């Protein structure tokens, strides 16, 4: 049986994760793998219900603790229901966001301590960590201009989104073995060539 592979794509709003996730999935399909594509929060019945609560603009009074715990609850179900069984079966998993987003948004953005987030996260995911993470860097104003400010997270202040970006950049500096930082100022084709170079490591 082939070894399971867990890859995550991270980045601020409008960074183009979906485009590059499709590219990565295509790479594995061409090699006979059938990647499981998931998103956070979401990809299970209960996690999608939580997603709707988290992104609903009408929930503007949601507290920081509530927000963090809802994200973690969605992740807990996703890990148990989808990620761990898929890895055990030797699947490739490509996720649109994972724990790094929680650290960037709820940690750097909202100001919840990293210790608090990591303590809860360890309870939720156990020893599970991505094998490879791509962070797509984009200036917040440019990213938000691409997609607009429609959901509750997108409607947060410019200062919040600047802190989130700084969080992603900090995480990339601190985790160079796992995280690949990619500038979305470069042409899509050039970014994907960088992604391809790192995906090839799984085929030595």
pLDDT single digits (tens) 130-140 = 999 999 998 88
With bands split at pLDDT 50, 70 and 90, how would you rate the model's confidence at 144? confident
pLDDT classification of 147: cutoffs 50, 70, 90: low
Percentage of the chain beyond pLDDT 90 is 86
Q: Is the pLDDT of residue 128 over 70?
A: yes
Report the CATH fold assignment for 5-203. Answer: Rossmann fold (3.40.50)
Q: Is 118 annotated as a binding residue?
A: no
Encode burial over 124-138: b for 16+ CB neighbours within 10 A, e otherwise.
bbeebebbbbbbbbb
Query: For the chain, what are the domain ranges?
Result: 5-203
pTM check: above 0.85: yes
Say if residue 12 carries a ligand binding annotation.
Answer: yes
Please determine, for residue 149, whether its predicted confidence score (pLDDT) is greater than 80.
Answer: no
Residue 148 has what pLDDT?
Answer: 65
For residue 164, whether the previous peptide bond is cis, meaning omega lies within 30 degrees of 0, is no
Convert the pLDDT of each residue in 33-49 to its tens digit: 999 999 999 999 999 99
Through-space distance between the first and last CA atoms of the chain, rounded to whole angstroms: 17
Do the annotations mark residue 18 as ligand-binding? yes
Q: Are 13 and 147 in contact (CB under 8 A)?
A: yes
CA distance 87 to 84: 5
Binned at pLDDT 50, 70 and 90, residue 204 comes out as: low
């Amino acid at each position: 049986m082939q070894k399971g592979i867990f890859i995550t794509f991270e980045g601020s709003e409008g960074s183009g994760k979906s485009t590059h996730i499709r590219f990565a999935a295509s790479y594995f399909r061409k090699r006979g793998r059938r990647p499981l594509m998931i998103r956070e929060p979401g990809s299970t019945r209960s996690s999608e219900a939580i997603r709707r609560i988290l992104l609903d603009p009408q929930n503007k009074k949601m507290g920081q603790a509530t927000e963090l715990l809802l994200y973690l609850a969605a992740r807990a179900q996703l890990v148990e229901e989808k990620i761990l069984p898929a890895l055990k079966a030797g699947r490739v998993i490509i996720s649109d966001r994972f724990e790094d987003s929680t650290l960037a948004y709820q940690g750097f953005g909202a100001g919840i301590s990293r210790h608090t987030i990591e303590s809860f996260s360890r309870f939720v995911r156990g020893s599970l960590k991505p094998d490879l993470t791509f962070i797509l860097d984009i200036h917040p104003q440019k990213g938000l201009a691409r997609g607009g400010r429609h959901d509750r997270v997108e409607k947060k202040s410019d200062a919040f989104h600047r802190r989130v970006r700084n969080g992603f950049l900090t995480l990339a500096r601190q985790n160079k073995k796992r995280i690949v930082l990619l500038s979305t100022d470069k042409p899509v084709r050039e970014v994907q060539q960088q992604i391809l170079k790192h995906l090839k490591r799984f085929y030595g």
